[in-house]
Amino acid sequence: MYDMLLARRRILLAKKSGGAPDMVLLINSPNTGDFSVSTNYGTFTAAKVSEYPYLGTTVTHKLSISDVTFSTGQRISDDSAVRGLFVGVESWGASNTYTNTSSLFYECTNLRGIPSSWEGLGSLGYASAMFQGCTSITNIPDSWEGLASLTSASAMFQGCTSLSNCGTTFTGLAKATDVSSLFDGCTGMQGDIHALYVYLSTKPIIVTVFERCFQNCTQAVGYSSIPASWK
């Protein structure tokens, strides 16, 4: 309990000091105390917390990323050991101005979960390959709401073989024009992809790039009813 309170106090102090709202990542590590994590966006402290179970693994630390603009399409780390630390995203941050998170979590193969909503990513325009190759991620938010500026979701979840759902409310994709390979290779998909296809193919802002959007989602609801040009 003391460790948890100490970590929370650090986060609160960072916010009071004028830092930008944080993206908080969940970590599983054998380290018994705080430790530094070097990423492509700077070096941050993984704060030790009281351990708790999380989607088949354990959370031991939390890493708060502050004062960062994800705008280069660069993944969080080129080091597979660093990428392997991350098991979840606790929060996107309350009012950040991220515009490009393309490839951010590319091949974070231990990443199991993300927040239950997209709130905080209202300025995000490009999320191509954001979670590509995240083979342990199981669910995404039921509502795509909160992604009001998103235009490119190309390969956003490509190769996420454990992902089982595609959402149920799709209005957050109202401005999307590129959904190519969005769920390509999501062989564990069980959700109603036909409902998503209907939305994407009839919304006022036309989707112009959609090749392989649902490729290999053969177990999903409505797969056989989707035109071949989309899969």
Confidence of residue 22 (pLDDT cuts 50, 70, 90): confident
d(CA 123, CA 96): 8
Amino acid identity, position 41: Y
pLDDT tops 50 at residue 76: yes
The 42-54 sheet, strands edge to edge: 35-39, 42-54, 57-65, 23-27, 86-91
Burial of 138 (0-12, 13-18, 19+ CB in 10 A): middle
Each residue's pLDDT tens digit, 4-19: 444 444 444 344 344 5
Helix, strand and coil in the chain, % to nearest 5: 15, 20, 65
- pLDDT higher at 181 or 22: 181
- Write out the two tokens for 38: 């070097």
Predicted pLDDT at 12: 42
Contact 213, 180 (CB under 8 A): yes
- Phi, psi (5° rounding) for residue 106? -55, 125
pLDDT of 21 strictly over 60 = no
| CB half-sphere exposure, 134, CA atoms < 13 A | 31
Please tell me the distance from the alpha carbon of residue 8 to that of residue 191, in angstroms, as a whole number.
36
